[in-house]
Structure 1
């Protein structure tokens, strides 16, 4: 979760039916008792929607699709050397930043349980002076909503939810993500939604490296002590899924900063993933996926909303799934930026990228993702997913969904 400081609070193949029912029940219980806008600069005709693949091929060699090898060579990248440790070179002159330059070859065995547990949230703060800029249309700040631990096992209650791990210049980092449906490949989705700042550093950097999605991470919600000798299947019951392609908005790539900044309203991303081992799709493996709602109302008309994620900053430790349930309001960082959704929630860094869900006609759908929140962790804000967010999603689906 990206954090901003204000004078007051500030930002920051198993059973599919039970998992979906669990999310619906949580939202329905609260109702009776928890993106891009049209101003986004992203254009589906521009490379901002494309992501390059660097996937493993035969004999351990990286197979680079036509047109990409030359691009990598231009940036001085040898994929075999990259996989052998060259990815740790964060020379700014060679840090791939443009949308079409993404490369993430599978490095089998890199993300072991202990490395996952060492990952930290990339929580940042913004000075009070910078945070008190003129704001656009917004609703009163919500009261804090205490995050609730999700029931275990996660595969039966929140199967689409997982953790996104990646390497940044600061070290191993972690966010949250959600398995979403692929409308052009029903039942066989390999798509994951998360935040743009979980895959790309924004205007001052480029694509992060070794991006992996782990659905239902720590499925039984075990403690740190209980996981000290855990095997890979206990940590990652569905395995590790490498993002062979990633897309985020041009608005984030050009305007995103460590604290969100002007890129915050466009802070969303779509990953196309592949298993480290195996050949079944992510949706078939997990047993479920959520539809994406690109038409959610901008204020309380969205109804009760739930945010799910793996908060990692104190008082949480990133090992368990939590959720916050509230009615969303509007929030904007500046008068010339689109408003975002905002709910009360005490989740901290690490919950970034986690899905926001609502129920439409009895179906749980994803309507946003966690982007920013205040330093005292009393609320969360996420982008509205509108026309441009849908175009980005459709481009990823149509271009790479059958691979």
Structure 2
């Protein structure tokens, strides 16, 4: 089983043993938006940028802020000149409260967006060694169907999550979700834990950015070669200024197998790279999905729709797809919550994409996200969202409640 992960295709494979329900608080240390001028290398005479952008305005970087950032491994001048590419062990194995994601304007240009890699590392379907709980028969594959463009009309809350890992430029899928602290004005995005953090053998990924309605018109790979940034990212590039995933994922998660898969979820808070004229992400795309943390039993769910941008063959990561199926159960280990599983042919890159169910009120709600799947595709599994996921979600919301 492979972790469908970022177009790193992380489908995390083997289920990890439940260790605790505590959360890793990923504090926002600083959001540093380097100006376009600074990124282009047009600095002051002393070789140092004098200002940063926080969206629409500019402020001078105080010396004490520079020093504080350096304490967390960020040298503003070095970072904007390419230090974000360096992955030494001390940086990679940061403590959980050291999530830092300075904005580098223009970094995610059309070429980098299109070229996000898919280093999928899977294992055999039989490698589910901890399957001690209730698991239903393997579902029949459901052929993923291409979403009709424009995606903004048919799937406005879906998008791509781009980031850099030691292996290179990567991609996942993600979903805009509501924010209880900011009704109608959410800047929260839901994805898989393995799309923001490498798990027990790594640390936080870098340059995390969300692109809602990526390739909104559904252009082919050939057409995208000449597409402008505004055509590829019509609703802008939104950088993560905070990210949280479960302690279970950080402690147990791995690139292959299913360790930590039952807790493979994450919430990020985003801010627009170029400013949004005061509009939130939810207002910009025109919607956000509520999250259902009651973890409805499989028998109560008639149908789940999973969305994502599959990037591993036979897909190319440029178009949005969906699978719809009645879920079954997958248990990786008896001590961990049982996961949802559906038939679906989507591959790596679809990791982190939202799973949506129509609730009793007739309205859609996010109930899971793509986490793992077999090497040869055919099905996907996602965690059931309970108290751990709810606490994580609420903590990110509260972090920005007064802003």
Deviations 1:158-185, CA, capped at 9 Å, x for gaps: 0100000000011000000000010121
Deviates more, 1:296-305 or 1:249-258: 296-305
Q: 1:397 to 1:147 in 2, by over 3 A?
A: same
TM superposition shift of 1:140: 1.5
8 A Cα contact 2:124 2:375, kept in partner: no
Deviates more, 1:116-125 or 1:162-171: 116-125
TM superposition shift of 1:57: 7.4
TM superposition shift of 1:83: 2.4
RMSD: 2.6
Structure 1 counterpart of 2:185, from 177, 185, 188: 188
The structure with the greater share of residues assigned to helix is 1
Find the residue that maps to 1:185 and give its secondary structure.
Answer: coil
Deviates more, 1:164-173 or 1:62-71: 62-71
Matched, 1:98 2:99: no
TM superposition shift of 1:67: 11
- Once residues 261 and 64 of structure 2 are traced to their aligned partners in structure 1, the CA distance between those partners, rounded to angstroms, is 32
Please, which runs of 5 or more residues in structure 2 have no aligned partner? 5-10, 36-49, 54-58
Matched, 1:322 2:321: yes
Matched, 1:56 2:33: yes
TM-score (structure 2 length as normaliser):
0.86
- Once residues 34 and 220 of structure 2 are traced to their aligned partners in structure 1, the CA distance between those partners, rounded to angstroms, is 38
- Once residues 87 and 136 of structure 1 are traced to their aligned partners in structure 2, the CA distance between those partners, rounded to angstroms, is 42
What is the 5 A alignment of 1:4-403?
41-43=20-22, 47-48=24-25, 50-56=27-33, 59-61=50-52, 72-126=69-123, 130-279=127-276, 280-360=279-359, 361-403=361-403
- Once residues 128 and 66 of structure 1 are traced to their aligned partners in structure 2, the CA distance between those partners, rounded to angstroms, is 54
Find the residue that maps to 1:61 and give its secondary structure.
Answer: strand
Q: 1:179 to 1:66 in 2, by over 3 A?
A: farther
- Once residues 292 and 67 of structure 1 are traced to their aligned partners in structure 2, the CA distance between those partners, rounded to angstroms, is 39
TM superposition shift of 1:121: 2.3
TM superposition shift of 1:284: 1.0
- Once residues 374 and 114 of structure 1 are traced to their aligned partners in structure 2, the CA distance between those partners, rounded to angstroms, is 30
Aligned length: 371
TM superposition shift of 1:388: 1.1
Find the residue that maps to 2:311 and give its secondary structure.
Answer: coil
TM-score (structure 1 length as normaliser):
0.86
- Once residues 227 and 286 of structure 1 are traced to their aligned partners in structure 2, the CA distance between those partners, rounded to angstroms, is 21
8 A Cα contact 2:128 2:257, kept in partner: no
8 A Cα contact 2:161 2:211, kept in partner: yes
